[in-house]
Amino acid sequence: MSDILCLIPARSGSKGLKNKNIKLFNGIPLILYPYNIAKQSRFITDIAITSDSKKYLNFFKKKNIFKILRPKKISQSKSKIYDVIIHALTKLKKHYEYIVLLEPTSPLTSVKEIDKAIQILTSKKNNINSVVSVVFNHKFLSVFKIDLNKDLRIKNNFKIKDLNRQNFKKKEYYFSGNFYAAKIEYLKKVKSFIDKGTYCFPIKDSIHTDIDDIKDFISAECILKKKLYRFKKN
């Protein structure tokens, strides 16, 4: 299999929850979760962390990971993740065919799901350029719903629908944010993980988290503690 890079973006600024990326989540800094997940993968070749904060990068001092300090101009709340990726690839100076993006705000992501997604992406018979995680029937107040074909690829008439509580419908898929993966050549062409034909990988509702504020944080931590309790009990 070709070289696969796992990139972890973790900027220092956060409006919803101050310093959320280094906040202790069940006793471990949130920023370490994607690293711990990625290093268990059977397919990921290298792991890199990109941040505008030296303090954040120092959490990985003794870890086998590339540390990339990125400029403030691509570390704002409205900065495009594509620019962050290109900056990281330029700094690494190594050829990768695929990239997997994992964010600290999704600490419950399963390595089994990631490896399955990588297999789908890298299989020559599938002819797939990108894979993103989606969740079924999630109860968001504001969500992005996508229209899919039966093979779980985004339809050719690609259109993301911004939904609110009033027009939320059941039996539909929504972007979960747990992981994004793509062929780098394709990513550079469309400048996005999501486009016509993107394969949407359904994940269990129980591992979906996208921590933005203190309520999200507490909820996700409770889910993790329940899982650990059940594991110990069994």
pLDDT in tens, the chain (234 residues): 689 999 999 998 777 788 899 999 988 999 999 999 999 999 999 999 999 999 999 999 989 999 999 999 999 888 999 999 999 999 998 999 999 999 999 998 989 999 999 999 999 888 899 999 988 755 543 345 556 666 667 765 555 554 444 444 545 667 888 999 999 999 999 999 988 888 989 887 656 677 877 888 888 888 887 776 454 544
Helix (H) or strand (E) holding 48: strand 46-51
29 strand-pairing partners: 24
pTM for the predicted model, two decimal places: 0.84
Domains of the chain in start order, with CATH, are 4-135+175-233 (3.90.550.10)
Characterize 63-93 residue by residue with b for buried, 16 or more Cβ atoms within 10 angstroms of its Cβ, and e for exposed: eebbbbebeeebbeeebebeebbbbbbeebe
CB atoms within 10 A of CB 18: 9
Are 101 and 178 within 8 A, CB to CB? no
Report the candidate in 114, 106, 111, 88 with the shortest Cα–Cα distance to residue 37. Answer: 111
